Amino acid sequence: MRNENQPLIFELSREGRIGYSLPELDVPEMDTEELLPSGFVRQEAPELPEVSELDIMRHYTALSKRNHGVDSGFYPLGSCTMKYNPKVNEAVARYAGFAHIHPLQDESTVQGALEMMYDLQEHLVEITGMDEVTLQPAAGAHGEWTGLMMIRAFHEANGDFNRTKVIVPDSAHGTNPASATVAGFETVTVKSNENGLVDLEDLKRVVDGQTAALMLTNPNTLGLFEEDILEMAAIIHDAGGKLYYDGANLNAVLAKARPGDMGFDVVHLNLHKTFTGPHGGGGPGSGPVGVKKDLIPYLPKPVLVKTEEGFTFDYNRPESIGRVKPYYGNFGINVRAYTYIRTMGPDGLKAVSENAVINANYMMRRLAEYFDLPYDRHCKHEFVISGKRQKKLGVRTLDIAKRLLDFGFHPPTIYFPINVEECMMIEPTETESKETLDSFIEAMIQIAKEAEENPEIVQEAPHTTVISRLDETQAARKPVLRYQKKEAVEV
Ligand X SMILES: *Cc1c(COP(=O)(O)O)cnc(C)c1O
List of residues contacting ligand X (CB under 6 A):
79, 139-141, 173, 175, 217, 221, 246, 248-249, 270, 285, 287
Name which of 113 and 222 has its Cβ closer to ligand X: 222
Name which of 265 and 427 has its Cβ closer to ligand X: 427
Q: Least distance in Å: CB of 221 to ligand X?
A: 6
Q: Least distance in Å: CB of 413 to ligand X?
A: 9
Asked if 258 contacts 181 with a C-beta cutoff of 8 angstroms, the reply is no
Give the CB-nearest residue to ligand X. Answer: 140
Q: Least distance in Å: CB of 269 to ligand X?
A: 10
For the chain, give the longest Cα–Cα distance.
Answer: 76
Asked if 480 contacts 489 with a C-beta cutoff of 8 angstroms, the reply is yes
Interior CA angle at 451 toward 450 and 457, to 5°? 60
Q: Least distance in Å: CB of 227 to ligand X?
A: 18
Name which of 89 and 171 has its Cβ closer to ligand X: 171
Name which of 250 and 363 has its Cβ closer to ligand X: 250
Q: How many angstroms from the chain centroid is the CA of residue 434?
A: 25
Q: Least distance in Å: CB of 310 to ligand X?
A: 32
Phi/psi for 175 (5° steps) reads -70, -25
Name which of 241 and 287 has its Cβ closer to ligand X: 287
Name which of 198 and 451 has its Cβ closer to ligand X: 198
Name which of 288 and 302 has its Cβ closer to ligand X: 288
First to last CA, the chain: 28
Contacts by 362-368 with C-beta closer than 8 Å and gap 24+?
Answer: 362/434, 362/437, 363/426, 363/428, 363/437, 363/440, 363/441, 364/426, 366/441, 367/426, 367/441, 367/444, 367/445
Strands 423-426 and 383-386: antiparallel
Q: Least distance in Å: CB of 79 to ligand X?
A: 4
Nearest to 172 by CA among 358, 419, 392: 419
CA 416 to each of CA 210, 435, 479: distance values in angstroms, whole numbers, following the listed order:
29, 27, 23
Q: Least distance in Å: CB of 204 to ligand X?
A: 24
Q: Least distance in Å: CB of 212 to ligand X?
A: 19
- Cβ neighbours for 416, distance < 8 A, ≥ 6 positions apart: 78, 79, 174, 221, 423, 425
Name which of 192 and 249 has its Cβ closer to ligand X: 249
Radius of gyration for the chain, computed over Cα atoms and rounded to the nearest angstrom: 26
